[in-house]
Chain A
Amino acid sequence: MAILTLLLIPLLASAATVPMRNVRRMELLHLLSAAGSFLAAVWLAAEVLRSGTVTWGDGFLYADYLSALVAALTAFVYLVSAPYAVGYLRRDEEQQVFAETGNGRGSFSKLRKYYALTPLFGFSMFLVVVSNNLGVLWIAVEGTTLASIFLVTFYGRRTSLEAAWKYAILGGVGLSMALFGTVLTYYAAHQILGGESLNVLNWSVLAASASQFDKTVMRLSFILVLLGYGTKAGLAPMHTWKPDAYSEAPAPVAALMATAVVNCALYALARFYVLTERCLGPAFVSQLLILFGLLSIGIAVPFILVQRSYRRLLAYSSIDHAGIMALGLGFGGPLGALGMLLHMTFHSVTKPLLFFCAGNAQQHTGNDSLRQHPGGLLHSLPVSAPMFLLATLAITGTPPFSMFQSEFTILRAGFAAQHVGSVILFVIFVVAIFCGFFYHVANLVFGPDPGVPRGEFSRWKTLPVIGLSLIVVVLGFWLPAPIYALVNGAARILAVQP
């Protein structure tokens, strides 16, 4: 039941938005849908915590700890980005950014597009995490791409078209690889289980008998799936669309893409990881994941060191974090999985904060350039600027903020699994990334007063920032037991069975 609610709320919201004529109503509905889906997600999580797994339609929809966790995180990001989006878009209206892209009724159609597509986007992400059938899973992931393409082109600039094109094409290729992988998995299962029934593609079914699958097929299938969903998660070298899409999309959408979508992609990857790992043993999967993880973290380093726009900076940072999570999964063992999921949790709380602060800064100063920025944001944005700094510290894994703990856990996992070399590389990269990231943001925030008029009077834009920062700070010192239970349960699903 909870599953269905979770899926229906955003779907209906999006459907209901289309015929609407009044922007304020759309906003209200948007907020309601966000709140509703968050409650639904919490409900689902509660159900899962009470009784291991929740299913619907004889296992067509299926939620265990992992799904519940990712669903909750997605819903959370959706929840916080909704009010921010309202403020953000209102600000855009004031500044008449839609004016110059004057196709048809200008701003109204734009806003409707936004309020209709975002819930759809949310819906497809929820579908990703609750669909048991790997085929449906793939469809849902493709759905996230389709729903978000026109959110990327939202501003209709030349650059946003370019970004959207790259996003669409690379996403399309990636997903067809993922599909190929899925087909191969199905083939492997087909040899063992036979039959055309739908359940043959159900993860819960496959996981049970994965150990007997054909090794070669599974190996190829995992390679393709890794490349496919890796593209979606933005692992190097399939990451190239990310900086463009993230810097062109509106800040709230970028926040959703940088956290929720990445989580979903990694979720899909993790599902296949379990199957392959049960079939082939840990060695093969982990070496691939470690390779791609390190590659992603490493590729982020130079681009962060000499970055020119802070929106792209954030994009590279999320490539880096996708890499870190992949690395955690790759190191494996109970610690690795735990570290990865903790990191996912904390990342989903911190990254939106960064995007919101960056969005506020960008809307206030009119550009997101690091080069010709006078600095001294602190004087004009008394809320966002310091929080930007705080979020930067948090995202770069600085204590007391919680990402430090998850990164440390992943490090330990690496040592436990004897991957000393990779761990050392990891540490070097992370330090370098911190240097670049913090250098840029500090120069942005600190400095003498550039004489920019004092900004941010819209509660809609400041309250989410304040709220999120509070959560970030609190998470550094207090991790609520249920969340930890969820994470732990999920980690047990991913952990290598001895």
Chain B
Amino acid sequence: MLPTRELYIAGLVAYTLGIAAGLAGHVTGMARSWIARAICFLSLVGALLEFGAAIGGLLASGDLSWSLASGIPYLNYGVRLDPLSAYFILALSLLAASVSVYSFGYVGHHSTRKSPALFCAFLNLLLLALTLVFTAANILFFLIAWELTAVAAYFLIVFDHESAESRKGGLLYFLMARGGTGMLFVGFLLLATAAGSLEFSALHGVSRQLSPMVGAGAFLLLFFGFGVKAGIIPLHIWLPAAHPVAPSNVSALMSGIVIKAGIYGMARVFFDFYGALPVWAGLTVLVVGVVSALLGVLYALMEHDLKRLLAYHSVENIGIILMGFGSALLFRSFGHPQLAALALIAGLFHTLNHGVFKCLLFLGAGSVLHATQTRNMEQMGGLIRRMPSTALYFLIGAIAISGLPPLNGFVSEWFTYQALLAGFGATPDLTRVAFPIAGALLALTAALAAACFVKAFGITFLALPRSEEAEHAREVSFSMRSGMAILALACVLLGLGATWFLPVFDAITNRAFGVAISGDLVAGNGFLLTAGSAMRGTVSTVAIALALMVLGSFPLLFWFVWKRKSVQVSGPTWDCGQPGLTAQNEYTATAFSKPLRMIFAALFRPRREIQAEYEVSAYYPKSFHFESEIEPTFEAHVYGPLRTAVLSISSRMRRLQTGSIHLYLAYVFVTLILLLLFGVRG
């Protein structure tokens, strides 16, 4: 039995020490990088301790709950480590550990150069706040931690506040986050008033005491309130603005786990606070999931800023997770706990998986950025020769996120498919059609994601470098590489070892639906994954991996048969007879995504302009200037008008304060008259 509580508190202490040390270092102006390293080490320690605590929480029979010391009489910092919290802590601390390792080499460079100590302090603050978000056991404490996360994240994003881009991105994030919190306020308090208590334990299944109207209202408020943080469409616009501009280890954490705080909140509300919900609720979540997934990946395809691309993929994967959640809700509404559990597992497992590979990809992108000083893929290329291990890790991440076997992305998507498939049989008439359609669109999403990462990896790492920086890129430091290595390893292990990981979910599904199905999900003595029963379909990532190795070595057999080792000569690529193939001839990211841009033109409304300068005749262009952009639908048609409307109304209202004292007196006079009449009347 692990000393879970001690581990947990020790972890918090480590983070806190990190914060304190960082602030001290900043105030005393000791910006030397060894302090930063020391603080990164502290956060690493904290992460490991929390990891232990998470394990303890998952192994524990009941939930562990205690409360931290609070200096405020009316405020208790209640902490609860039930399976769901423990699971998210697990994910958090895994990512936190690898990011801290990565940060050893990362901090003290470019954007964090000004004051690495302060930067690390905020990093620790973010980790601390997230830990609290996942474990807070009453609404007030939860909201405090929730907002604290936003604050820490904001300061990390704008850490390089001299760049207008990061100021803008950070601000957008912070303001939208506050909007979300506003919704949470109301939603939570509606529940709390019904339950008569702020404690999560009292809120369990509180929905039964709610009137349908209130229940629906609170559900929507909470769903969209958490949705802002999770980045569901149409509340996603902050995500591609904020994630890319942050320092890369921060982007990694944000896309990896910070947005998962929204997912945690939804899981908490949907499956802990609410009992069976009406059908429309599940459908809403499902539809939002599908839309986010599809639009997310489509927008990602159009990006040639590597980090923005990754950011949009976060939107996509959140969508996939929500498909799982949505079908879980539907199954519960129709009384199929087993299936609900399957769908929930699909969603939660994908949450962890996405965390891992997205973090990995962002760290990879960070290394590339570190080496080439640009995020623009059109400036990259040929990096696989210059930074081989980064390339390898990035490739692993790319395969995983494209949901290709045998890595972890495949497993969770496979479960999602199975859940959707089962949905058709398990639900009455029209609802059932939603499932396979969703499945088909999930397939489309996955295929597009694959296309997108062929582009991302191919353009970034393969063929010839397209710029000086890429030409002279160097492999990153050991610590950064090992940070990525940990996550790459996690991708492989979670993929191949899925069968051994599944029991983790038993406690969670048991709490939510009263069933534990990991036994049914595993067959062939821990060798096969099944969709609830071997009949419904099986897959075995391990076996696939092995088989691929064996079959892949077949050809070598042929060489062996014709004992003639075939000669290999290396020569130039075919250049259509024009001597000297240069980077100019390479396919660009823009060109790569052109077919899809044309196919989905209705959505993208692409705009392009070509200016050509000619020397002698129109047949001999001297130079081309090609520029193409797509219309950001939501920014242009939803948020832009909204903003202008609010501002114009406000500036019109400024006329109330014209400076004329007579007008001011008139306000008071009229108010007096009205109130007198009211007073006499009432």
> Do chains A and B directly touch (beta carbons under 8 Å) in the complex?
yes
How far does the alpha carbon of A449 sit from the alpha carbon of B190 in the complex, in Å? Answer: 47
Find out whether the CB atom of B650 lies under 8 angstroms from the CB atom of A405: no
| A39 CB within 8 Å of chain B | no
How far does the alpha carbon of A174 sit from the alpha carbon of B182 in the complex, in Å? Answer: 35
User: B157: shortest Cβ distance to chain A, in Å?
Assistant: 11
User: A183: shortest Cβ distance to chain B, in Å?
Assistant: 15
Q: Taking A227-B668, A477-B71 as contacts, is the C-beta distance between A306 and B167 under 8 angstroms?
A: no
| A148 CB within 8 Å of chain B | no
Binary B-proximity of A460-498 (CB < 8 A = 1, otherwise 0):
000000000000000001110100100000000000000
Secondary structure class of chain B's binding surface, majority of residues = helix
| B144 CB within 8 Å of chain A | yes
How far does the alpha carbon of A336 sit from the alpha carbon of B624 in the complex, in Å? Answer: 69
Please, which residues of chain A bring their CB within 8 A of the CB of B611? none
The 8 Å CB contact of B665, one of A173, A393, A439, is A173
| A35 CB within 8 Å of chain B | no
Interface segment among B413-421, B597-605, B673-681: the answer is: B673-681
Please, which residues of chain B bring their CB within 8 A of the CB of A174? 668
| A194 CB within 8 Å of chain B | no
How far does the alpha carbon of A402 sit from the alpha carbon of B79 in the complex, in Å? Answer: 20
User: A358: shortest Cβ distance to chain B, in Å?
Assistant: 19
Find out whether the CB atom of A305 lies under 8 angstroms from the CB atom of B186: no
User: B218: shortest Cβ distance to chain A, in Å?
Assistant: 11
Please, which residues of chain B bring their CB within 8 A of the CB of A420? 190
Secondary structure class of chain A's binding surface, majority of residues = helix
| B370 CB within 8 Å of chain A | no
| A34 CB within 8 Å of chain B | no
| A299 CB within 8 Å of chain B | yes
Please, which residues of chain B bring their CB within 8 A of the CB of A223? 675-676, 678-679
Please, which residues of chain A bring their CB within 8 A of the CB of B190? 415, 420
Contacts A165-B661, A400-B148 known; 7 new A-B pairs at CB < 8 A: A219-B682, A223-B675, A237-B667, A303-B654, A306-B654, A415-B189, A442-B158
Interface of A with B (CB < 8 Å)? 162, 165-166, 169-170, 173-174, 177, 216, 219-220, 223-224, 226-227, 231, 237-238, 240-241, 243, 284, 288, 299, 301-303, 305-306, 338, 376, 378, 393, 398-400, 402, 404-405, 408-409, 411-412, 415-416, 420, 423-424, 427-428, 430-431, 434-435, 438-439, 442-443, 446-449, 477-479, 481, 484
Q: Taking A231-B668, A237-B671, A302-B654 as contacts, is the C-beta distance between A442 and B171 under 8 angstroms?
A: yes
Find out whether the CB atom of A227 lies under 8 angstroms from the CB atom of B73: no
How far does the alpha carbon of A220 sit from the alpha carbon of B680 in the complex, in Å? Answer: 7
User: A339: shortest Cβ distance to chain B, in Å?
Assistant: 10
Interface segment among B172-180, B434-442, B530-538, B546-554: the answer is: B172-180
User: B313: shortest Cβ distance to chain A, in Å?
Assistant: 28
Q: Which chain B residues in 644-682 approach chain A with CB under 8 Å? A: 646-647, 649-651, 653-654, 656-657, 659, 661, 664-665, 667-668, 671-672, 675-676, 678-680, 682
Find out whether the CB atom of A306 lies under 8 angstroms from the CB atom of B650: yes
Find out whether the CB atom of A305 lies under 8 angstroms from the CB atom of B671: no
Q: Taking A169-B665, A415-B190, A434-B178 as contacts, is the C-beta distance between A405 and B75 under 8 angstroms?
A: yes
Find out whether the CB atom of A177 lies under 8 angstroms from the CB atom of B672: yes
Q: Taking A305-B647, A446-B161 as contacts, is the C-beta distance between A435 and B668 under 8 angstroms?
A: no
User: A214: shortest Cβ distance to chain B, in Å?
Assistant: 13
> Which A residue sits closest to B651, measured CB to CB?
A306
Please, which residues of chain B bring their CB within 8 A of the CB of A302? 649-651, 653-654
Nearest 9 pairs of A and B residues by beta carbon? A478-B71, A302-B650, A446-B161, A302-B653, A240-B664, A399-B144, A237-B667, A431-B182, A399-B147
The 9 sampled A-B contact pairs (Cβ below 8 Å) are A170-B665, A174-B668, A220-B676, A227-B675, A237-B667, A301-B650, A306-B651, A405-B140, A484-B73
User: A446: shortest Cβ distance to chain B, in Å?
Assistant: 4
Please, which residues of chain A bring their CB within 8 A of the CB of B647? 305-306
How far does the alpha carbon of A299 sit from the alpha carbon of B655 in the complex, in Å? Answer: 12
Find out whether the CB atom of B665 lies under 8 angstroms from the CB atom of A431: no
Find out whether the CB atom of B147 lies under 8 angstroms from the CB atom of A404: yes
How far does the alpha carbon of A488 sit from the alpha carbon of B378 in the complex, in Å? Answer: 64
Q: Taking A238-B671, A284-B682, A303-B653 as contacts, is the C-beta distance between A431 and B171 under 8 angstroms?
A: no
User: A363: shortest Cβ distance to chain B, in Å?
Assistant: 23
Please, which residues of chain B bring their CB within 8 A of the CB of A412? 189, 192
Please, which residues of chain A bring their CB within 8 A of the CB of B186? 423-424, 427
Find out whether the CB atom of A479 lies under 8 angstroms from the CB atom of B73: yes
User: B247: shortest Cβ distance to chain A, in Å?
Assistant: 16
User: A51: shortest Cβ distance to chain B, in Å?
Assistant: 22
User: B540: shortest Cβ distance to chain A, in Å?
Assistant: 47
| B561 CB within 8 Å of chain A | no
Find out whether the CB atom of A411 lies under 8 angstroms from the CB atom of B185: yes
Please, which residues of chain A bring their CB within 8 A of the CB of B657? 240, 243, 303
Binary A-proximity of B377-400 (CB < 8 A = 1, otherwise 0):
000000000000000000000000
The 8 Å CB contact of B72, one of A303, A424, A477, is A477
Find out whether the CB atom of A400 lies under 8 angstroms from the CB atom of B144: yes
